[in-house]
Structure 1
Amino acid sequence: MSLAILGFAMVAAFMTLIMTGRLAPVVALIITPIVFGLLAGYGLDLGPMMLEGVKKIAPTGVMIMFAILYFGVMIDAGLFDPAVRRLIAIVHGDPVRVVIGTVVLAVLVSLDGDGSTTYMVTVAAMLPLYRRMGLNPLIMACLVMLSSGVMNLTPWGGPTARAATALQLDAGALFLPMVPAMATAVGFLLLLAWLYGRAERKRLGALRIDAHNPPGGFDDLTLTADGGVTVSSDPAALRPRLLIVNAALTVGLLAALVSGAVPLPILFMTGFAVATLINYPKPADLRARIAAHAPNVIAMTALIFAAGVFTGVLSGTGMAEAMPQSLIAMIPPAMGPYMAPITAALSLPMTFFVSNDAFYFGVLPVLAEAGAQYGVSKAAIGAASLVGQPFHLLSPLVPSTYLLVSLIGVEFAAHQRFTFIWAIATCAVMAVAAMLFGVFPFRA
């Protein structure tokens, strides 16, 4: 129990430090686990634990680093400019359309199952509009993350595959029954987007934007010589003649990503190399592009490797196992018939405090065994365990969320405060819908 208490205290201390602004996240991710690891009685043993955590997260760090560089090159070359121009023409300066369009775009892009890709593509397309119109960027961060959290339940997204593997079930058997509940959650997010859009419209008023002759400056948008709009901040970096080639390369990269045929780090490394060879073959031009995106790359990779230190200590000390086990021990036998909704409720804090791997491979089988004693099927428990994924993405242990707030330019703590209640609400809507559609029972 002492390890569980230390684990919860460590996460609480970390959250307090970053949400109050006392420490930067990258510093808190390193200092906090060292302090609590020493309190747990681990001295020099902490070093190997931290290194092991960094090793495990290294592929993610490499993937995100080269993904940022790849999509940065595509933005600079002008790949997303036609889409932005089209969006400007469609929204006509109406905040409601912009905010609803954010959810629609995020849901569609999320079909690839990778949150990082969703964030980069959606933010590249929508952030210029938000900044031009003065919309609250926290709204975009909230809606994009929650949309990704709902769509991450696809069999290739990760959580469903983990749950199916842990329970020895077919991934489709968990995913297909959840589709109506996922659709209901997306509907809730569209309603939330509509409400926020109306609030922003009231606050700002409808700003009319002409796609070819916009009034005033565009902040992140730039006017070309012919009056068109471009997302690229450097007109010299534009490669309009290579638009079709870049589009084909990106579609091919995303197709390979969905297929899973190539490891993601290698995929984005190769994609970046090919993209720069096509668009910026001169070393001087390439150095300029890398320098332009270096701040984002350094900030993100530093956070990711620091998160590896945190998770390494959490796992190496045994806190990651003790924390969920202590929560399970608190469930009284009388609540046994309600194991499905209990699992759904527990999936929020458990996937927030520990990794998906720790929850689905370490905790879910225990919950499924407990549910089976009261007549709740493994498939029902497995489906219920997926409900907490939108809230899971708010965890400081999720690297892609740091990418999201970095791209949008908001503080991680501010994003957590803004999104917290809506993340819980999205999970609640999905859970209630799942029970209404008979995916898992309220009571056995």
Structure 2
Amino acid sequence: MLVILGFLMIATFMVLIMTKKLTPILALIIVPTAFGLFAGAGFGIGDMVMDSIKDMSSTAALLMFAIVYFGLMINVGLFDPLVRLILRKLGNDPAKIVLGTALLSGAVSLDGDGSTTFIVVTAALLPVYQRLGLSPVVLTCVAGLTNGTLNIVPWGGPTARAAAALKVPASDIFVPLVPSLVAGLVVSLGFAWMLGVRERNRLRAADPIRWSREPAMAGVASSGASVGSVGGASSGGSAGGADPAAGSMADTALDPDRESLRPKLIWFNLALTVAIMVMLVVNVVPLPFVFMVGCAVALVVNFPHIGDQAKQLASHATSVIAVVAMVLAAGVLTGVLSGTGMVDAMSSWLVGIIPDSLGPHMAVITALLSIPMTFFMSNDAFYFGVLPVLSNTAAHFGVAPVEMARASVIGQPVHLQSPLVPAILLLVSLAGVDLGDHHKKVLWRALVVAFVMLAVGIGLAVIPFG
């Protein structure tokens, strides 16, 4: 019964948000509560949810102060030179902009932290998207897909968890999978280019006169679509000035004439941001505290007057409330899944239905299972709860633990799109995108990337077929 309820709960949640019957936050609260009560949780459901929310409180704090910090850096002008450089190098060609989104996402994703990647990418490129009238769903799709593909780096969470769970070196997991990673990135870049071309064609069809001009001139006119960015600005109006890059930034979150600019403090702000990024990598101080201190220092230095400080904090309230509420609401789903025993029951059922005749194919089966299982449960639950059981079973058929570990990370392109992953909630919140719209565009592409990575791994025999 718990198995059926678990899968039905996940399916109900996905259907409701993808058909826009409920917002993700409401679906994350209402659906698990209804199924948890039906499963017999009773009044104990409150303790289940609160325990889960306690575990997620540090994540909520991290995302809250990270949003405020990078929002401040946008307001004071830290990212303006980067956006100008992007516009000059890529022009206003939508296809090149979307491909550049994938390349920037891939470069920043090398630090192994999805939240940092999405903050930097949206800060740098969302104003460009809104200025050219590009769909922000394309941004979330490309950024999420690229980051999910790169989530198997050895210093990232999944590979480290697999290595710890099966007691194998992380390098032995990752290095043989490098060709699979390269293939996955090539497919991701291909999807980015096709999405960019589609956006270019859409814009040309909507306004053929404007987009028949030179690409450098096309972007000086813009759609008036409002985008819920970390800067809290929306596009509109026409740009002027001799520099097309500066013109494309007018009337956006990176308006070159905004009052909050602090050009004389750009080197201080850059040094502070680099210091925070270094602290993220070395991880010697809890990350929420790092961003708390960073926000406090940035506010005091850039806005010494208390009224300006309050105004800056208030300007990011919408983004903060959206993402923190989403993270806390996700605690209801994870709390019910674990507290009622649904996760354990679903895992045991999946392991139990594998017949002995498929034993030699356990690596491939594990790779296929990792796709849905890491989507509806946390990485900790899968790598420390399910993977050891699968690996012990596979050992009877001669499949080595390191081969099982490699197979287990194949589902990461899909995992990163899960509503249980705080980073993806941060991405859609910053971009002002509905989670259901993001899933419609990204999930099938993430599946393709995962299958390509698996096929390459099988072809090179680093993931044994049998």
Q: TM-score, normalised by structure 2?
A: 0.90
Which string of whole-angstrom CA distances, capped at 9 and with x for unpartnered residues, describes residues 140-161 of structure 1?
Answer: 1111001111111122210111
Larger mean Cα displacement after TM superposition, 97-106 or 147-156: 147-156
Contact 2:132 2:219 survives alignment (8 Å): no
Equivalent residues in 2 for 1:376-391, closer than 5 Å:
376-391=399-414
Equivalent residues in 2 for 1:363-402, closer than 5 Å:
363-402=386-425
Q: Give the match for residue 339 of structure 1.
A: 362
Given the alignment of the two structures, is residue 44 of structure 1 paired with residue 43 of structure 2, yes or no? Answer: yes
Contact 1:77 1:232 survives alignment (8 Å): no
Q: Give the match for residue 292 of structure 1.
A: 315
Q: Give the match for residue 66 of structure 2.
A: 67
Which string of whole-angstrom CA distances, capped at 9 and with x for unpartnered residues, describes residues 357-395 of structure 1?
Answer: 110000000111111111111001001100001101222
Given the alignment of the two structures, is residue 58 of structure 1 paired with residue 63 of structure 2, yes or no? Answer: no
Q: Give the match for residue 196 of structure 1.
A: 195
Q: Distance in 1 between matches of 2:107 and 2:419?
A: 25
Contact 2:18 2:436 survives alignment (8 Å): yes
- Find the partner of 2:439 among 416, 421, 428: 416
Deviation at 1:197, TM superposition (A): 2.1
Q: Distance in 2 between matches of 1:436 and 1:214?
A: 45
Letter in 2 for 1:215: V
Deviation at 1:58, TM superposition (A): 0.6
Deviation at 1:204, TM superposition (A): 2.5
Q: Give the match for residue 149 of structure 2.
A: 150
Q: Distance in 1 between matches of 2:104 and 2:182?
A: 15
Contact 1:30 1:309 survives alignment (8 Å): yes
Contact 2:92 2:219 survives alignment (8 Å): no
Deviation at 1:210, TM superposition (A): 5.0
Equivalent residues in 2 for 1:195-274, closer than 5 Å:
195-205=194-204, 208=214, 215-216=220-221, 220=234, 228=246, 230=249, 231-232=253-254, 235-274=258-297
Q: Distance in 2 between matches of 1:364 and 1:185?
A: 23
**Unmatched tracts of structure 1, length 5 or more:** none
Contact 2:411 2:450 survives alignment (8 Å): yes
Letter in 1 for 2:254: S
SS in 2 for 1:434: helix
Q: Distance in 2 between matches of 1:182 and 1:161?
A: 16
SS in 2 for 1:44: helix
Deviation at 1:61, TM superposition (A): 0.4
Contact 2:133 2:222 survives alignment (8 Å): no
Letter in 1 for 2:447: I
Contact 2:98 2:196 survives alignment (8 Å): yes
Contact 1:181 1:437 survives alignment (8 Å): no
The number of residue pairs the alignment matches comes to 441
Q: Distance in 2 between matches of 1:358 and 1:379?
A: 19
Contact 1:224 1:235 survives alignment (8 Å): no
Letter in 2 for 1:137: P
SS in 1 for 2:462: coil
Given the alignment of the two structures, is residue 301 of structure 1 paired with residue 347 of structure 2, yes or no? Answer: no
Letter in 2 for 1:280: F
Deviation at 1:330, TM superposition (A): 1.4
Change (3 A) 1:166 1:281: same
Change (3 A) 1:214 1:410: closer
Change (3 A) 1:20 1:215: closer
SS in 1 for 2:116: helix
Larger mean Cα displacement after TM superposition, 345-354 or 28-37: 28-37
Contact 1:221 1:232 survives alignment (8 Å): no
Deviation at 1:202, TM superposition (A): 2.7
Q: Distance in 2 between matches of 1:159 and 1:329?
A: 24
Given the alignment of the two structures, is residue 361 of structure 1 paired with residue 366 of structure 2, yes or no? Answer: no
User: Identity rate of aligned residues, in percent?
Assistant: 47
Letter in 2 for 1:400: A
Larger mean Cα displacement after TM superposition, 370-379 or 201-210: 201-210
Given the alignment of the two structures, is residue 429 of structure 1 paired with residue 429 of structure 2, yes or no? Answer: no
Contact 1:93 1:208 survives alignment (8 Å): no
Letter in 2 for 1:202: N
Q: Give the match for residue 81 of structure 2.
A: 82
Q: Give the match for residue 207 of structure 2.
A: none
Q: Distance in 2 between matches of 1:193 and 1:352?
A: 22
Contact 1:53 1:308 survives alignment (8 Å): yes
Q: Give the match for residue 351 of structure 1.
A: 374
SS in 2 for 1:190: helix
- Find the partner of 1:407 among 430, 436, 447: 430
Q: Distance in 2 between matches of 1:26 and 1:198?
A: 33
Q: TM-score, normalised by structure 1?
A: 0.95
Which string of whole-angstrom CA distances, capped at 9 and with x for unpartnered residues, describes residues 414-444 of structure 1?
Answer: 111111210100101111122223321111x
Letter in 2 for 1:65: M
SS in 1 for 2:259: helix
**Unmatched tracts of structure 2, length 5 or more:** 205-210, 225-233
Q: Distance in 1 between matches of 2:196 and 2:242?
A: 32
Q: Distance in 2 between matches of 1:379 and 1:217?
A: 52
Change (3 A) 1:391 1:214: closer
Equivalent residues in 2 for 1:136-175, closer than 5 Å:
136-175=135-174
Contact 2:127 2:254 survives alignment (8 Å): no
Q: Distance in 2 between matches of 1:159 and 1:281?
A: 42
